Amino acid sequence: MDLRAELLKSIWYAFTALDVERSGKVSKSQLKVLSHNLYTVLCIPHDPVALEEHFRDDDDGPVSSQGYMPYLNKYILDKVEEGAFVKENFDELCWTLTAKKNYKPDRNGNSVISHQDAFRLWCLFNFLSEDKYPLVMVPDEVEYLLKKICTAMNMELNSGELDDYLSQEPQGQGGLTVWQFLDMVNSGRFLRGIEQEAVSMAVEEVYQEVIEDVLKQARSPHGYLWKKGQLRRNWSERWFTLKPSVLSYYMSEERKEKKGSIALDKHCCVEVLPDRDGKRCMFCVKTSSRTYEMSASDTRQRQEWTLAIQTAIRLQAEGKKSLHKDLKQKRREQREQREQRKAAKEEETQRLKQLQEEKERKLQELELLKEAQRQAEILLQEEEQRRRQQHEEMQRTLEIQLQEAEQARASMQAEMVLKEAEAERQRKRILELEDMQERLQEALQQEVKARQDEESVRYAQARLLAEEEEKLKQLMKLKEEQEEYIIKTQREKQVLKQEMENKNKCLEEAQKQLEEVRVNRQRVDQDVMAAQRKLRQASTNVKHWNVQMNRLMHPIGPGDKRTNVSGGGFAGYQPFLSQRDSSLK
């Protein structure tokens, strides 16, 4: 806690004590007196000009705490130097002002604590209270302070009774004011059977430990510590007091005559020494300049002093001026952490509650969805049953159509066998025609030879030769037509084979379409109708080619013999001409 905050707490009590009407404002004359007294106890040079200027009589009305703060900060608190004044005198000034108005001890003299003890408890309260106005001390700090006082009296605090008392107070859970705290201590509820002197000693010990930062001092029942001198090397009994930065020793426990002090810093150390020179339970404190040897009354006292001195050295190493300020800050941080954890737990509980409500709502929605799903499954099963029946009917229909297609395919294969046999016969016929053509060529050669042999009759038979040449031309033309017809027949045969392959492909596609019919019935129907159209077209083409083949079954015969030629020279040629005319016809 910083010095300014400590001073402000005490000044706040003095200011509120001067606020007689509880309006939050104090008259300027009272503030002048208060400021003058603060100058005095804080050892600050007086500035009467600034004081009179700030509290002039021509200003309107009294001054609130907010109006007094600028002057307090600028002319008093900013000039305060730590160690330049006696903090206890400052606290006594503020306590005197506020106690007259607010502290009400038992008028019959039955108070557990004296007026001086009430002042020390008031100082302890200010030290442990929260940095919020109005000042209160939270229950944890109340319990901590009462435990310290009870521990100093070698007794144990009844925490359950304290909790009951705080729960009965209207504002006990949020904290106690200093006057509620003093009333609680004066009630004797937690200090039954304890003499006032014992309570005063315990309060003084806690006050010295917490406010004056006395970490350790010898207690009367256990005697003093013995210290070895530096020059004469003799042993002297001294009363020791340990603070975080210094170990002081006095002639007696009244601490009126200070004999010296040992400055402590982070370079110091404390060590246990063996017994010698007739002294026991020895230890020493080593500083950078010298070593101080001391002897305790027993081993327990030596251990307590060495641990306390080590604590002071540790505080110096950590740069901390007060052990209890550090402990107070740690307790405050722990309370804040507990409050944060409590708030987080409440938030988590609220969140879990919301999640539970959301879960219940989701479960209700899930039940509705399950019911809707069951209805949908029933409808889906009915639809699936209907579709399965339709599919089975469609499959039976397609199987029938496939059987019919297979039968059509078998009939077409039989017709193809017949067509191939007919084509084979046509090929044989073509070979015969080719043989006949060769014989005709031989006959023509013989005719040319005969015409050469019988040049004498050439002119007489000129007309016959001309007709013969004309017949020959017709024969050649017929041969060309026959060759074209043969080529055409071969092409038609290839087309027929291609159509057969197409039919086979159509049948394969029909089988594939049968497998796909479960997915798309309409497509299969269209494919089947297309296949039927192709089959009808193929049947029509087969019938057409049957007609063409029937025509090819009747070959062209040779031409008849001519009868209008006479003479002995053509007697042997006339039968050949008649045969040729018959074949041409």
pLDDT in tens, 465-519: 788 788 888 888 888 888 888 898 888 888 888 888 888 787 788 778 767 767 7
Q: Which residues lie closer than 8 Å to 124 by C-beta, 6 or more apart?
A: 145, 206, 207, 210, 211
Q: Give the model's pLDDT for residue 220.
A: 53
CA 461 – CA 265 distance, rounded (Å):
164
Tell me if 62 is assigned to some domain.
yes
Q: Return contacts of 40-44, CB within 8 angstroms, 24+ apart.
A: 41/85, 41/86, 41/89, 41/90, 41/93, 42/7, 42/76, 42/80, 42/84, 42/85, 42/90, 43/84, 43/85, 44/76, 44/79, 44/80
Contact criterion met (CB below 8 Å) for 200 and 114: yes
Coil, helix or strand for 280?
coil
CA 105 – CA 342 distance, rounded (Å):
39
Tell me if 58 is assigned to some domain.
yes
CA 273 – CA 296 distance, rounded (Å):
11
Tell me if 49 is assigned to some domain.
yes
Tell me if 72 is assigned to some domain.
yes
CA 272 – CA 253 distance, rounded (Å):
25
Domain housing 26? 1-102
Low-confidence ranges of the chain (pLDDT < 70): 1, 55-61, 106-110, 169-173, 192-193, 217-223, 457-458, 460-461, 514, 517, 524, 553-585
Provide Rg for the chain, Cα atoms: 68
CA 38 – CA 20 distance, rounded (Å):
20
Tell me if 2 is assigned to some domain.
yes
Q: Give the model's pLDDT for residue 378.
A: 92
Q: Give the model's pLDDT for residue 171.
A: 58
HEC secondary structure over 432-492: HHHHHHHHHHHHHHHHHHHHHHCHHHCCCCHHHHHHHHHHHHHHHHHHHHHHHHHHHHHHH
Give the residue from 261, 106, 285, 301 showing the smallest Cα distance to 196.
106
Contact criterion met (CB below 8 Å) for 121 and 181: yes
Q: Give the model's pLDDT for residue 154.
A: 83
- Helix orientation angle between 139-152 and 323-453, rounded to the nearest 10 degrees: 140
CA 101 – CA 78 distance, rounded (Å):
29
What DSSP character marks residue 154?
T
Tell me if 381 is assigned to some domain.
no
Q: Give the model's pLDDT for residue 272.
A: 93
Q: Give the model's pLDDT for residue 568.
A: 43
Contact criterion met (CB below 8 Å) for 225 and 141: no
Burial of 45 (0-12, 13-18, 19+ CB in 10 A): exposed
Coil, helix or strand for 314?
helix
Place of tokens 């309570």: 199
Spell 163-184 as b/e; 16+ CB within 10 A means b.
eebbeeeeebeebbbbebbbeb
Tell me if 553 is assigned to some domain.
no
| Tally of structural domains, the chain | 1
H/E stretch holding 271 reads strand 269-273
Burial of 552 (0-12, 13-18, 19+ CB in 10 A): middle
Tell me if 259 is assigned to some domain.
no
| pTM for the model | 0.56
CA 222 – CA 237 distance, rounded (Å):
12
HEC secondary structure over 384-425: HHHHHHHHHHHHHHHHHHHHHHHHHHHHHHHHHHHHHHHHHH
